[in-house]
A and B are shown apart, each in its own frame.
Chain A
Amino acid sequence: MQEKECSSLDWDEIIEIVRKTQGVTLEEASAARIAAAHMAVRRTLAAVAEGSVFDTEPAGFPVALQALARTAEDER
């Protein structure tokens, strides 16, 4: 059995928040997985998005895909 102290998020609280805000009922095992995922993503984002994202744009990704494609000039 996982310890409830495995993360700073309390499973019962998670169940309550999702029930109150989304109207969806979670089981405790789901809440435990969600708690673990939140802590993992918090660590990941702390590493990859530690700076400001103020100057990013919503269209940044498709524009980057286009810009990073090989051009005819590259192929020559």
Chain B
Amino acid sequence: MTDLSQLPLIAVADGIAAGQFSAREVVTACLARIERLQPVLNCFISLRADEALEAADRADATRARGEALGPLHGVLLAHKDMYYRAGRISTCGSLIRREFQADRTATALDRLDAAGALDAGGLNMSEFAFGPTGHNLHWGDCHNPWAPDHITGGSSSGSGSAVAGRLVFGALGSDTGGSVRLPAGICGVVGLKPTQGRVSRHGIMGLSFSLDNVGPLARTVRDCARLLGVIAGPDVNDATASTRPIDDYEQAALEADVKGLRIGRPTSYYYDGADPEITELMDKSLQVFASLGAEVVDVEVPDQHRLSDLANVVMTSEAATLHGAWLKERPHDYAPQVRARIEPGFLWPATRYLQAMHVRAEILREFVASVFSQCDLLHTPTLNIPVPTIAETDVGASPEFPALIARMTHCTRPVNYLGLPALAVPGGYSANALPVSFQLIGRPFSEAELFRAAAAYEAATPWAEEAPPL
């Protein structure tokens, strides 16, 4: 009999709806896998196995009564441990919030619940979502299912590891500088940073409210599209959530077409310091797009270094505001690197922060006018070096850490300042047998276009079919 944990999200939802198997059978298969692999991967901070089984039984009873089923009916998910659910503990990957009980439920979780999804528990993450590698001093490092001595990427480390490891069918992460795209790319799954404002942030831990995004991770492009379709849209509890109508993302993924699309390869910045092996794999992925009917064009991009500087002013100012009281009263409850990353925010004058915010629209206009006049989608590496080991990146707050952060987030951080949507897509493996990923960046609110193009690539390549050797 098929191991139900190995199916993609859509196949599980369809199978439960059709009565091919029950939600309890699916959850039981996943829980068995979690029990076996949690000691290896450490992707859960809190597992709620009994609640998941009870919810599965309720889902099966709902189906037996012939009631209407949501698009995620009976599908087991789990989320970064910063999505609040009223009455439950959300640690935010920290010591400080070890016992924090939320008084509200995140809008994204409410919407997943309404669609019938089940929730297995809270997933590991970098402390307070600071950290692109997946290290965590308080809850233990998270491990990559493809090679457990290698990093998962962060900060949504558990989300990448649990989805890639086939422990759950999808997960929410958050992305302030690459925190969905890096673990998705490094663990070999699909991850989306939506347009700023596409998904409500109500009920999630804030890191930097101007740059934070809620984003889904899943095994396939269509899985990811279905998750976005459920969670996207306006929210009365989040005034920053866009009122723009949502597109049919799953339909776009089903169309899987790039004919006539101009896909841009940046001629500067994104390949600075790139490993030749990654460059070669990026070129191969572009050849696939070309073979499917896209036109691959070289594109000059405006200076991206300045975007990282400006994003840094915004992120640290906002983070220092949120963490100020704790950093004053209990600084040693933070990992030294996390503390060191927040501290610059205490010294920016308000005028610097506001300048960085006020020039954002103009820089976005300049980027869109320049880049998207030359191409429809920009194609870049997600991480332009092979996935490093946990030991190689365990630098703490040593003098090497700023360079490591800059290296890891080189390709992802500028996109957060621009607020644009970006989809990380598996693109093969490097010589160390770890996944390699590219990101497709589009115009504001072009998520459907990203899914349409990525699904065409996915259908032409074997990566989505391959599972880690666990």
Interface residues of A (CB under 8 A from B): 14, 17-18, 21-26, 29-30, 33-34, 37-38, 40-41, 44-45, 47-49, 53, 56, 58, 60-66, 68-70
Residue B240 interfacial (CB < 8 Å)? yes
Chain A residues near B195: list those with CB within 8 A.
65, 69
Find out whether the CB atom of B365 lies under 8 angstroms from the CB atom of A68.
yes
A37-B312, A41-B352 given; 15 more Cβ-contact pairs under 8 Å: A18-B346, A24-B324, A37-B309, A38-B347, A48-B363, A53-B359, A56-B358, A61-B196, A61-B360, A62-B240, A65-B197, A65-B364, A66-B244, A69-B195, A70-B446
Residue B355 interfacial (CB < 8 Å)? yes
Residue contacts A-B, CB under 8 angstroms, 14 given: A18-B343, A22-B324, A22-B328, A24-B331, A33-B402, A37-B344, A41-B309, A41-B312, A65-B364, A65-B419, A65-B445, A68-B368, A69-B445, A69-B446
Find out whether the CB atom of A62 lies under 8 angstroms from the CB atom of B242.
yes
User: Contact check: which of A37, A38, A58, A68 meets B444 at CB < 8 Å?
Assistant: A68
State the CA gap A13–B346 with chains docked (Å): 13
- B357-404 at interface with A (beta carbon < 8 Å): 357-365, 368, 397, 399, 402
Chain B residues near A24: list those with CB within 8 A.
324, 327-328, 331, 343, 346
* Least CB separation from B312: chain A residue: A37
Chain A residues near B340: list those with CB within 8 A.
29-30, 33
State the CA gap A18–B342 with chains docked (Å): 13
How many B residues touch A, CB cutoff 8 Å?
45
State the CA gap A71–B358 with chains docked (Å): 25
Find out whether the CB atom of B355 lies under 8 angstroms from the CB atom of A49.
yes
* Least CB separation from A40: chain B residue: B309
Find out whether the CB atom of B344 lies under 8 angstroms from the CB atom of A45.
no
Majority SS at the chain A contact face = helix
State the CA gap A58–B352 with chains docked (Å): 14
State the CA gap A24–B305 with chains docked (Å): 29
State the CA gap A33–B402 with chains docked (Å): 9
Chain A residues near B363: list those with CB within 8 A.
48
Find out whether the CB atom of A53 lies under 8 angstroms from the CB atom of B365.
no
Chain A residues near B196: list those with CB within 8 A.
61-62, 65
Interface residues of B (CB under 8 A from A): 195-197, 240, 242, 244, 305-306, 309-310, 312-313, 320, 324, 327-328, 331, 340, 343-344, 346-348, 352, 355-365, 368, 397, 399, 402, 419, 443-446, 449
Find out whether the CB atom of B358 lies under 8 angstroms from the CB atom of A65.
no
Find out whether the CB atom of B364 lies under 8 angstroms from the CB atom of A41.
no
Find out whether the CB atom of A62 lies under 8 angstroms from the CB atom of B197.
yes
User: Contact check: which of B352, B365, B402 meets A45 at CB < 8 Å?
Assistant: B352
Chain A residues near B320: list those with CB within 8 A.
22
State the CA gap A36–B14 with chains docked (Å): 55
State the CA gap A40–B312 with chains docked (Å): 11
Find out whether the CB atom of B443 lies under 8 angstroms from the CB atom of A70.
yes
Find out whether the CB atom of B361 lies under 8 angstroms from the CB atom of A30.
no
Chain A residues near B352: list those with CB within 8 A.
41, 45
Chain A residues near B242: list those with CB within 8 A.
62, 65-66
B239 to chain A, nearest CB (A): 10
Find out whether the CB atom of B347 lies under 8 angstroms from the CB atom of A14.
yes
User: Contact check: which of B312, B361, B449 meets A64 at CB < 8 Å?
Assistant: B361
* Least CB separation from B343: chain A residue: A30
The 9 closest A-B pairs by CB, nearest first: A60-B361, A64-B361, A69-B445, A65-B444, A44-B309, A53-B358, A56-B358, A69-B444, A44-B306
